[in-house]
Structure 1
Amino acid sequence: MVTGSPEIQTTKHHGKNIQKIRVYMNVKQNALATDLGLTQQDISALEKQENIDDAMLVKVAEALGVSAEVIKEFDERNVINNINNVRDCTFSDNSINSVAGTFNPVEKIVELYERLLTSEKEKVEMLKKISTKE
């Protein structure tokens, strides 16, 4: 009986790496092809190539929003590790929520309403002053 997780191989196959990144990012071959000015068949052929020249890697990387190095050095272990870390992550008080702050829409509405009310009161006072001068 074999226990543990299956071994995930690190591949330096550029085409397969592009395909994996594209799939992880939920990008269809047609969409990538359109961004690169190619056909879907061109993308399919590209994903079968073990080595892709640097110029094309840069274009594909830009279209996918990653660096060419990410494609060259893609490692499924790191991706799965990152996904698991994000999924299992619990935030402390000093985490992103504290940095970004929490947004309470009701408080914002009340704040905006109070500013509007103050502005209207100022307008009424100005109109009263103008009308008493006449």
Structure 2
Amino acid sequence: MSTLTKPNHIGRKISRIRELRDMKQEALAQALGTNQQAISAIENSETIDDQKLAEVAKALGVTVEAIKSFSEENMISYFNSFHDNSINNGQNAAYPIYNFNPLDKLIETFHEKEKLYERLLQAEKDKIEYLEKLLKK
């Protein structure tokens, strides 16, 4: 028997879509109100009943038809066309444009961390001073 994935293996398609959405089996299981083992069983099934497929599609944020017609080639084409359209239309829903420099945010975070450390250090100094006063009495 061939080791290639069968083109109509719904479980494999669900698995690949889940991976592309950067979702773990546990997260999908939680969204469906089940456990990770059930998701594993679904992903190993060649067929799934329509009701369960609709639930999985909803949890993955795709349509049932998208799962049924899924292929790697279609996905690459879809993402490329979506990216091109979003740039051309000025809408970047899938690829947000941030209006800040990440290095500036990193430096800002570092300064906040310094301030928190200084406050913690001052609190410890205040505690020591208070305890020394208590010992002198």
Output the TM-score relative to the length of structure 1: 0.58
User: 1:45 maps to what in 2?
Assistant: 41
Q: Aligned pair in 2 of structure 1 residues 52, 90: CA closer, same or farther (>3 Å)?
A: closer
- State the 1:10 CA deviation: 7.8
- Contact 1:10–1:77 at 8 Å: present in 2 too? no
Percent identity over the alignment is 44
1:30 equivalent in alignment to 2:8: no
Q: 1:69 aligns with which of 60, 65, 69?
A: 65
- Contact 1:13–1:51 at 8 Å: present in 2 too? yes
User: 1:96 maps to what in 2?
Assistant: 90
Gaps of 5+ in 1: 1-8, 98-103, 105-134
| Higher RCO structure, 1 or 2 (CA under 8 Å, sep 6+) | 1
User: 2:122 maps to what in 1?
Assistant: none
User: 2:14 maps to what in 1?
Assistant: 18
Query: Number of matched residues?
Result: 92
Output the TM-score relative to the length of structure 2: 0.57
Q: Aligned pair in 2 of structure 1 residues 82, 13: CA closer, same or farther (>3 Å)?
A: same
Q: Aligned pair in 2 of structure 1 residues 76, 35: CA closer, same or farther (>3 Å)?
A: same
User: 2:94 maps to what in 1?
Assistant: none
1:23 counterpart SS class: helix
The higher radius of gyration belongs to: 1
1:38 counterpart SS class: coil
- State the 1:83 CA deviation: 2.9
Aligned Cα RMSD in Å? 3.2
Quick one: which amino acid aligns to residue 96 of structure 1? G
